[in-house]
Each structure stands twice: as C-alpha cells, then as structure tokens.
Chains A and B, each alone.
Chain A
Amino acid sequence: MGIGFIDILQSLIDGILFGSIYALIGLGFTLIFGAMEKLNMAYAASSIGGAYVGLGIATLFSLPLVLIFFIGPIAAGLLSILVYLVSFRLIPASNHLGSLMASIGALFFIDEVIIHETQGSPLTFPELGIFSEAYFMLGDLGFRGDLIFIMIFGLVSMGVIIYLLYYTRLGLATRAVSQQNIAARLCGIPIHATNISTFVLAGILGGFAGCLAAASVGVISPLLTIPITIKGLVAAVIGGLGSIRGAIIAGLLIGGVENFFLLVRGVNERDIYVFLLLFVFLVLRPNGLFGNEISRD
C-alpha cells in the first residue's frame, strides 16, 4: 500500500471537516432527546426536506440563490412543528416506541413526498459561493473553505444552543420539562409550547445543516436522508444521548474515522467500520462519551 503519513493526515482532516454535518444532525437528535427523552427519527428527513423547499421556492420565484440558506431552515423548522404534531403531540409521553414508530412513519412519508415531487432524480444545489472556491494550504495539507465554514457554523451553533439552554428562561423551561414533566406543568410551564420551541430550534439547525450538506456535495437527493439519519444517530449515541458537546465531538470523530477507512479500505466498506465503532461504544461505554449515568432507556 502506498499510503503515506501525509495522505492519512489529509484524509483525517477532510473527514473531520465533513463530520461537522454529522455533528449538526447528531446535535439535533440529542437536543430533542434531551428535551423529551424521545428520538425524532424524522429529523434528518425534515432537514433535507427544508433544503428542498428552499431550493424549490428559490427556483420557482427566481430569487437570489443565497436566500435558500434562509428559506430552507425556516421551512425545516415548520416541517419539524408538523412532525411534532403528528408524531409526538397526541401520543402519551410514556409511549416511547409509539412516538418512535410514528416518527419513522414521518421519515418515510417526507422521503416519499420528495421522491414523488422530484421523480427520484437528484437536483443540483448551488455551492457556497466564495467559500467553495477558497482552499487553504498549510504546508502539504489542504483545507476546503466550505467545510471550514460548516465546521465554524457547527461550533457557533453549539455555543448558541448551550447559551439558550443554560442562560435563558426558555432553556430553563426546556430543562424543567425534561427533568420533571409533572412538576414543570404544576409550575405553569406550557409543556407543548416548550417542546415545540425545542423542535423549531432543532429544525432550523437541521435545515441549515441540510442546506450546507447539499451545498458541499453539490447535489441534493432523497437518498441522502437515510445515511445522514443513521450517521447522525450514531454521532448522538457515541457522544452520549442528551450531551451537546458529545454530539459535536462524536460527529467530527465519525467523519474522521469514515474518511480514514475510505482511504484504507475503499468506499464500499467504510460504513461497516463506522457502525462497528458504534458497537464498540455500546459494549464498552453504553452511555457514550459524555452521557449521564441515569437514563439508558
């Protein structure tokens, strides 16, 4: 094998930069899990759906393409409200599997709507303008400008979410609802409004992640949904469900591992190793990197 040290380092850098997308999606999963102790499986689907709506509206009214990055997140936030209403609102809090199944149903529903509307063919997505042309060299190592932008965006949004959760009244309400549902209700916190605001927050984040992912790849396709869902879930679990920094670090880790095995073992086998990494964590550290000891359910 003619793989030098510099190749490995370069592939790790590319992977970690691309891992920011997994980190953002994992962040969304973990945010909703932290608020409700439930998984919203339709999260990545609504993110990609938001990016589609943004692209669709922008091309329909021939708006400047940069607006996609504003319309997409808003649409994803609205889609998230819809997902909350159909998969979480009416199903009792104790019925975890019910919400899970309903959100899987929503995942396939959104996916099929996209496939139906686009006849299943991928669409080209505008690139990130100035960022996609930027390419930094540091010695022999190169850094893609758009991926650096995504990574910085991911870290900033992590900061914003930590700020919202720990330093605002909304965050206080969210944490109260997640820790003691009944006590929170007795204190006069509107449960559903709080949950919806978490969903909207996660949805906007996901919509942005969806747009960024599509922009960095250059195309958008409904085939992206399931892999991004699974990788995002893996990131959320490895980081510890409910842990915000865990999801970010695990997302970057997955990106790095994925690209390393892409270099060493080829494109067909790389995902096997990512999932094996998940099993290693589940056996040795079921709570993830930063997960709490209390809830494993």
Chain B
Amino acid sequence: MEFYLGILQTIGFHTLLGLSAYLLLLTGQLSMAQVGFFAIGAYASGILTVIYGLHIFLALGVGAVTASFFAFLVGFPALRIKGLMLVIATIAFSEIVRLYFFNLRWRIEKGGVEVGPDGAQGFREIRYFAANGWEPYQIVSFIWIVVILVIAALWWLDRVKVGSVLRAVGEDELAAQSSGVNLTIVKVSAMTGGGFIAGIAGGLYAHSTTYVDHNSFTILLATFAVAYPILGGLKNVFGTLFAVVFIQGILIEGLRFLGDYRNLLFGLLIIIVMNFYPKGLINIPIFNFSRRTKKGDT
C-alpha cells in the first residue's frame, strides 16, 4: 500500500511540474527553468516550516510566491530572447539555482538538534507532516487536491479569453501582437504563473520526502518537466497528466523487471514521439475520444 501511495505522490509532483511547463508552452516558450522554480519552492517552504515553524499552508503559499517572484524576474530578460536561446538561458538559470542551494548553509539550533540546509549534505529535517501526525493517505490526498485544483484552473483558463490569448501568442507572436495582444504582459504572466505552480510542487515535494538536496534538481528533471506536456500534447491539460502517468507509472514503475534498461526508455520515448507524433500522444487516433474534431484536422 505504501508503495502505491509513493507512486501516487511522485505522479502528483511530476504532474504539477509538467503543468507549470504546459502553461509556458502554450505561449510558445520552452522553459527548462521549471526545475529552478521547483527548487526555490522546495527550499523556501522547507526553511519556513523548519526554521520559522510556520504552518504548512502558509509555508507552501510563501514558497510558491517566492518562486513566482523569481519567475517574474527571469521573464523579463527572457522577453528579449526566444526559442532556442531561451532554452539555453533557462538551463543556465536552473543550474545557478541548483548551485546556490548546493552552497547554502543555514544551520540553527532547534530543540537541541541542528536543523536547516547543510550545503552539499542537503536539507534533511523537513518533518512537518510527521511531526503533526499526518497519515500517508492524508498527505497523498492533500497533494492530489492541489493537483486537481491546478488542473481545474488551467482547464478553466483554456475555456475563457485568456487561454485564447496565450495560445495566440504561442501560435504566431507577430500576428498576436498585430491584433493588440501585449506580449510583455502575456509572456511574463505565463512565466510567473508557471513559477507559482512549480513552487507549490516543490514545497509539496520537500515536505513529503522530508529530504532535498541539489541532486534532486538536475537538468534531467527539467527535461522531464518539459517532456510531459510535449509528449502528452498541448491540446488540453489531460495530455500532460496522461504523459506523467505513462512515464512515471508504466515506464518507470511498471517495467521494473527490465532493471537498468528502463533508463534508456525515456530518451528513446522522446525520440520516437517527436519523430512520429510531433503533436503529442493525445493526438494518436486511439486516444482521440472526442468526435468533435473533424477528419484531417490534427
């Protein structure tokens, strides 16, 4: 049982991470910085509950706001560059964040033991859930309530005008700008929103694993974050969810009998999907449940 709850937790964080990249991909920005925001959220909310003893909800909120503030700051220089250059810049940002936390040492005495981030040793004692008597199933439910809220919010976003504006910028920046869309506001707010979601995900991750270190926030995780929406397809939010369940649930957990070879499958899957289904798995006919799409309209 514990095992399945663990998988559910992992799917939860990865869905949030994928959705934060999904929001940016709608505006056509491929950002590898999501893992940086994830790390900021994780460390910020961890520090708040461990060192300042805040309540978990408050800590998660402040962590997410901190992450979105950094996303806002990254959004401005990112406006001047786009496409491939943005990818490189955001990789560099994620690495800066990772190395910052690699060097962060902030130990304080609390109840006779030293707590706090300890540089390369990582940040160990994030025990809010255990200290307050949360059961594993409560943690999982809490994570999934957040996931469902975020999915609902993004689903709703796509049904109102904001969604059309985001997609318009993603489809053709010049055309969107000509029809009066303010690119600065759209891109920076997409970045900020993505940072907020990634920040919440980071906070949840830090508290449910009780331990984070710089190795949790590598370029591989950044690749996972953008791979989910791209593999799933940008048609709607469920593409991302589907890709997370497929990769984390089936590829990584379901195929355990393959041992080491599973690590090869992730790269291979990206290559195959990009070559044969560039619009994502959700556009494969067998997954196309809705009859509304006309023939030939991919």
The stretch from B3-11, B76-84, B142-150 touching chain A is B76-84
A191–B99 alpha-carbon span in the complex (Å): 42
B87 touches A107 (CB 8 A): no
A109: B residues at CB distance < 8 A? 264, 267-268, 271
Bound CA span A286–B81, Å: 7
**Which residue from chain A places its CB closest to the CB of B99 in the assembled complex?**
A272
Chain A: number of interface residues, binned into ranges: 35 or more
A101 near B100 with CB under 8 A, answer: no
Q: Which residues of chain A are near B268, meaning CB under 8 Å?
A: 105, 109
Residue among A86, A87, A112 with most chain B CB within 10 A: A112
User: When chains A and B are docked, how far (Å) is the Cα of A230 from the Cα of B99?
Assistant: 14
Contact pattern, A 117-136, Cβ under 8 Å of B = 1, otherwise 0: 00000000000000000000
Say yes or no: A105 contacts B269, CB within 8 Å: yes
Q: List B contacts of A175 (CB < 8 A).
A: none
The smallest C-beta distance from B202 to any residue of chain A, in angstroms, reads: 20
A108-B220, A226-B219, A268-B99 as given contacts; A86 in contact with B271, CB under 8 Å: yes
Task: Check if A282 sits within 8 Å of B80, measured CB to CB.
Answer: yes
Can you list 19 A-B pairs with a CB-CB distance of less than 8 A? A90-B275, A95-B278, A98-B278, A99-B274, A101-B270, A101-B274, A107-B267, A108-B266, A109-B264, A116-B263, A230-B219, A268-B102, A268-B119, A269-B103, A271-B95, A275-B93, A275-B95, A275-B96, A278-B88
Given contacts A100-B87, A237-B88, A268-B103, 13 further A-B contacts (CB under 8 A): A39-B84, A90-B275, A91-B275, A98-B274, A102-B274, A105-B271, A109-B271, A112-B266, A230-B92, A268-B102, A269-B103, A272-B99, A272-B103
Interface residues of chain B, those whose CB is within 8 Å of chain A, are 30, 77, 80-85, 87-89, 91-93, 95-96, 99-100, 102-103, 119-120, 218-220, 223, 226-227, 230, 260-261, 263-264, 266-271, 274-276, 278
Write the residues of chain A forming the contact surface with B, with a CB cutoff of 8 angstroms.
33, 38-39, 86-87, 90-92, 95-102, 104-113, 115-116, 226, 230, 233-234, 237, 241, 268-269, 271-272, 275-276, 278-279, 282-283, 286, 296-297
